Structures are given as C-alpha cells and as structure tokens.
Amino acid sequence: MRDVRMGSGREEAPAKTRLTIGEAASVAGITPKTIRYYERIGLIGPAPRAEGSQYRFFDAEDIKLLRFIGRARRLGFSIADIRALLSLYRDQARPSREVKRLATAHLARIERKIGELEALRNALAALVARCHGDDRPECPILDDLVGSPEV
C-alpha cells in the first residue's frame, strides 16, 4: 500500500506515485465504478496498465482530471458540458469567455429549475394548508390530484 497523506477530507495524491483505481478513486473522492464509466464514455482516456499486469495506474495528472470532473458533476454540469470544460481546460490559449458562457448557461438552467421547484413547493404548501388532516374522508390534496371533473 502506498503512503497517502490526509488533507481536507480527501487523501492527497503523492506527486510521483502511480495509484491503482481504488486508490485513485479514494484520493479523487469518487468511486472506481465512476472512473470506469468516465473511461467507457471517453471523458478520460484509459489509464495505462503496467506491463504484464491487469492493474491500471493513475498519476497526479489523472487525479487532477478526476477531481475536476467530480467537482463539475457536483455542481450539476452535464457530461456534455464537462467534455466542453475539459477541452477548454486543456487548451491553454482558451478565451475565458467560453468558460464563462458555459457556466452562465448552466447557472440559468439551475435558476429555472429553482423557480420550478419553488412553484411546486408553493402549490403543495397551499394544498397541505387546506387539508384538515383529521378523521374526515374529504381531502383537498386528493381532490387536486384528481383534477377538474371532466365535462
């Protein structure tokens, strides 16, 4: 087992150490299954295997990319957006406006979703407030779910 230091809730990747998929997953804060998925869909390249070994090895740059992807996923970016962000990340001549454009579009989607969720919350809260929640069978919540009577 490699000497892996702890820091900020995650293990730190030793600078020149090659990590197995399990170790890389632990250090990157994701699961080995997730790493395999990212390889399968081409988000990251397949990790090299040691000659004559079935084990894949990940280096510090791989860990950096896995953390990048994991953070982007936690922020809710789609796989397509992450592909674009990775491409921009790798392009040292990138204009930052492209990164901002992607992030701004994602933020707008989040804000729309928040608006939809607030509307749902308000509608449900109004139904809950109208329901007596007692022993009577009448229930405005169920009545609302049925909808308007058909004509």
Single-letter code of the amino acid located at 28: A
Q: Give how far Cα 76 sits from Cα of 71, 81, 106, Å.
A: 9, 10, 8
Question: Which domains does the chain carry?
Answer: 1-77 (1.10.1660.10), 95-151 (no CATH)
> Model confidence over 70-82: pLDDT tens digits?
999 999 999 999 9
- The token pair at 87 is 């491409």
> Model confidence over 44-66: pLDDT tens digits?
988 887 777 788 889 999 999 99
Q: Higher confidence at residue 49 or residue 109?
A: 109
CA distance 25 to 67: 9
> Model confidence over 12-39: pLDDT tens digits?
545 557 899 999 999 999 999 999 999 9
